[in-house]
Structure 1
Amino acid sequence: MAYRATYIDRDPVDYFIERDERGASRLDVADVVLRANQDPKEIFARMIRFATNSAWSHCALVLLLSNIKRGYNSAFLIESMTRGVRLADWRKTIVPYKQYTVGIERLSLDWYAETPYEQAMHSPRDPEDAHGALYLRQVRGIALDQVNSLYDHDAILELTLLYIQRIAKRHLPMVPLVAWLARLAATYFRHRGASKSLPGDLEQFICGGLIQYSFFEALRIRILKGLEEDEDRDAALHNLKHMDRVIFCGDPDGVIANYIRQVQLGKIDLADPVPESVLDLLKAATPADFNNSSNLQWVYVILRGKIWEIKEASDDYEPQSTDEGEVLDLLKPEHRGRLIELSTQPMNSGTHTNEGRYDDDQVSC
């Protein structure tokens, strides 16, 4: 898929907090926000970009849209860090502009079948009440359920080893022992930490795993409830068939396809706990997976304090400027052979450039 990028001459903080002429937010609930931390001191972020051949080192989910009438003067994201899941202010996610490059993607829902109830709940007065809105709000709810999930060292080791397994299987296919050992070690740390049960339905994820799990689990729950009602059954079966449309991570072993097939054949009950093989796939989602996925559509990029709106273009489209070309380069599925360091480029002068620096006391994924 080809894209074109159009420059918007506005400050990124204000532009995404203010509403448009229709009164709608420019962000949507459950938008995926990718970020690259260009601080040379952030070694972990550099390692992630290098290991995944991607421009991106962190991702988050849009949780709450700005609404001054309701007292929300900013948008808020939910993100998973090494110490657990937390909320983040939009301003602190993108400032300082020289340090953070940000991309915004949105799930395409042209495949999603709404139930009669969902169709009846649409409000013509709400510009944000689009097709599939209730599903996206449930994605947000699933992510929010994980806020109290705190990680110990065993959980971090397990998740890190799942990452290593994925990277090894992809980039070291001739040395299967590496992936096998990583898998074995991850299983060990999972079992060792099994006694440290978490309240409710809390899981443990880092970064992309939280987002990937939320999209999957929200759809699973909606399908499950739809199968209980005769009038919703057709929509539920349709969405089950298209469950892979909310999977953004690579699945070379066909784990999700097999899960869907087993549910359709009645060999797995959708109400049963999700198999470990499926959870492991979801947990190991990386920022690069969201960048690479054709199930998500690019909508914006913020590069050195400049906003670029992203639209689909013809396959033969060529960038109209060097700056646009640099933006479009970020959207490529992979960035093999080089580690992108945009911080060496001149910084755009913006109203928020040198204020509000966000010094993490945690390591992002």
Structure 2
Amino acid sequence: MLFLEVSQLFRRRILLLSTYAILVTVSVPICTAFGTIYTPWEVAASILNGGSSDVNLVLALRLRRVLASLVVGALLGGAGVITQAAFRNLMASPFTLGISSASALGVAIALVLGIGGRGSAWFVMFKSPFTLAFFAFTFAIIQVLLVLLLAWRAGLDARALILASISLNFLYQALLYLVQYLVLNEIQLATVIFWTFGDLGRVGWQELSILGAGILVVAPAYLLLHKDLDLLLFGEEVAATSGVNPRRARFIAVLLAALGAALATSFVGILAFLCLLSPYLAKLVIGGRHAYLLPSSMLIGALILMWADTVSRTVLSPVVIPVGITLSMVGAPLLLYLLLRGGKSGDYQG
């Protein structure tokens, strides 16, 4: 009887994952068909008639955004699950580590150095479109490494991670505000602020290729952590008696989640709510076992971001709303729902 129940649960989870994968596949052409110009019917008619150069160009631009949303959504969806397990808290995300403030500070520093180094040889590097992304990624990783170093000295438990993250996050925020107030001009300040909105329009084909290569490396690494994450949820004593070093497992989990989130954030800006929304919806439907929860959250994250960007491009056409704003408008009601649902501590119960 027990074997039959386990078999049914396994088939149900595989069916759900297959359904999510099909929905993602089907959503790609549908989301590509919507935009500020050319209705889906005009796009379909053009494709059936051989396609005009204008329509093909528009479709290429839209497809780039859709594919970027797929990759970024998957990266953030997986990173959110891993961080929540490492912190044992449903309200945790990679941005709890202070990635957003550190990345924004990196962007601000890049803009400052771009002016100060105009006469030097190394200023050539600031001609690259990847400069802001490089600085955002570097500062985010530095922030996470500092958090892990401080937390390691305090035992690297969930409490130490949270305290170290909060402390350094306030420091990075203060440094960011100081740079904005004393150094940046109006154009640079507007650049930093717009970067924090989160927007897929800044992702070109070159950036997309880097994101694609990144997820090919990060996604399998996400999935390899599933057993350690399951054990961490039961506490450090249970993990240790099962042969897992809880400090090392938590260190690797947080670092890997931060790498995925920092890579996504460096190219598209801050999309913090996706790291909360995707894991919550995935756990609600498929359960807490990370072998299924991780791929489920990655697929749901891709779906949410694809459709959120489609709404952002069409709801106030021809104005395109940054997708981070759309996600925040969805995420805020979610947080209120979790609060009203009666959770006292936010502990993650797998």
Give me the TM-score of the superposition, normalised by structure 2.
0.23
Greater fraction helix: 2
Give me the TM-score of the superposition, normalised by structure 1.
0.23
